[in-house]
Amino acid sequence: MALIADIEKRVGNFHLKTAFKVAEGEIFGLLGESGCGKSMTLKCIAGIETPDRGRILLNDRVLFDSEKGINLIPQKRKVGYLFQDYALFPNMTVEKNIEIVLGKRESAEQYIEQFYLKGLEHHYPFMLSGGQQQRCAIARMMASKPEVLLLDEPFSAVDKGLKWNLELQVLELLDQMKKPTIFVTHNKDEIDHLCEKVGILSRGQMKETGTKETIFRHPKTAAAAKMTGCENVFPMSEGEYAYVGIPPEAVRPVDSEADADITGRVERIFRENEETVLIVRIQRHIFFYRCPNVLFDGSLAVGDRIFLAVDKEKVWYLES
């Protein structure tokens, strides 16, 4: 019982090529910058877009197979799609939004209760808060009895203050439903909170897949390192790896140029909540040096030279 996708699609000079597998009850996070093909991947699985080549299997059903000429219409795929803006039908109340999916078979009552929509049955979508809209969209999606859930950046339209609530809400619902789920986002933290497995998508190519721990702790590609929040990724002119990533814990300041691996000039200093970020210019490159506020003594000013040592054991060697 799983979803297996291996698809390719060309649109103009954008080339999407991705392959992955999502097991029963697993939440697979698809991480990538905007425009990398995350949404298109979901739309291919849902049948809204048609891949040029490849296969999509869901629980032993073939949804799409270019070689055998199979291409199920979206209506027959049993794929639940949670849109970024929820796409609730604006002309229908919460109850009607769910009823239209159920037809005459069942009443919406059960879904309204399960997704905490009691008292909102006769509200139109525009009268609902972001969280309520999301619950309604999830209830409607579940009413179609999907076998896999696709969540397209469900938190991007939400204020930061509300995000925790929504994440907890989604996590609780996903726990109840136990369906294979693909969760698409450009935010590493959301993946951290919700998913066990991650795929890194960059410019249409699936760069890495694996458990959250392995990819976040030690990425193997430059795209993965950048997406997981590493600010210092530099191309290497020689050696077998194309890039090197320097995580914050690999860097420490030293007093003299003799001990330093990196020498540069401080271009800007930002004070954040916990850390001070020094923007260091090293020739053509910009290096981000994060120093905990408690350790930053204020002796460095903009324009000063800074000496940093890099622990080579902790550095990531990355493929492009």
Partner 1 sequence: MDLMPIILSLKIAAVSTGITFFVGMYAAWKTANMIHGKGLLDAVFTLPMVLPPTVTGFFLLVFFGKSSLIGQVLSNCDFDLVFSWRGAVLASVVVTFPLMYRTTRSAFEQLDPNLIDAGKTLGLSKLIIFWKIVFPNCLPGILGATILSFSRALGEFGATIMIAGNIPGKTQTASLAIYTAMQAGNRPLAYQWVLILMLISFTAMLVMNAVNSRQELLVRRGGGR
Minimum CB distance to partner 1 smaller for 12 or for 298: 12
CB of 127 to partner 1, least distance (A): 8
Q: What residues from 105 to 124 belong to the interface with partner 1 (CB under 8 A)? A: 124
Q: Which amino acid does the sequence have at 207?
A: K
Among 34, 91, 237, 273, binds partner 1 (CB under 8 A): 91
Would you count residue 177 as binding partner 1 (CB under 8 A)? Answer: no
Among 85, 106, 109, 189, binds partner 1 (CB under 8 A): 85
Would you count residue 125 as binding partner 1 (CB under 8 A)? Answer: yes
CB of 141 to partner 1, least distance (A): 7
Would you count residue 138 as binding partner 1 (CB under 8 A)? Answer: no
Would you count residue 157 as binding partner 1 (CB under 8 A)? Answer: no
Q: What residues from 184 to 223 belong to the interface with partner 1 (CB under 8 A)? A: none
**Long-range contacts, stretch 163-171, CB < 8 angstroms, 24+ apart:** 165/131, 166/130, 166/131, 166/134, 167/193, 167/194, 169/131, 169/134, 169/135, 170/134, 170/138, 170/194
Euclidean distance between the first and the last CA atom of the chain, given in angstroms as a whole number: 34
* 302 touches 319 (CB < 8 A): no
Minimum CB distance to partner 1 smaller for 182 or for 223: 182
Would you count residue 90 as binding partner 1 (CB under 8 A)? Answer: yes
* Alpha-carbon distances, residue 169 vs 28, 36, 65, 83, 215 (angstroms): 18, 27, 35, 16, 26
The structure tokens 């049955």 sit at 121
CA distance 8 to 281: 40
Would you count residue 126 as binding partner 1 (CB under 8 A)? Answer: yes
CA distance 75 to 147: 13
* Cα 319–chain centre separation: 21
Minimum CB distance to partner 1 smaller for 128 or for 262: 128
Measured in degrees and rounded to the nearest 5, phi and psi for residue 123 equal: -85, 145
Would you count residue 43 as binding partner 1 (CB under 8 A)? Answer: yes
Which listed range, 84-92, 153-161, 171-179, 307-315, lies at the site for partner 1 (CB under 8 A)?
84-92
Which listed range, 135-143, 183-191, 261-269, 296-304, lies at the site for partner 1 (CB under 8 A)?
135-143
Give me the residues that bind partner 1 (CB under 8 A), please.
Answer: 43, 46-48, 73-81, 83, 85, 87-92, 100-101, 124-127, 140-141, 143-144
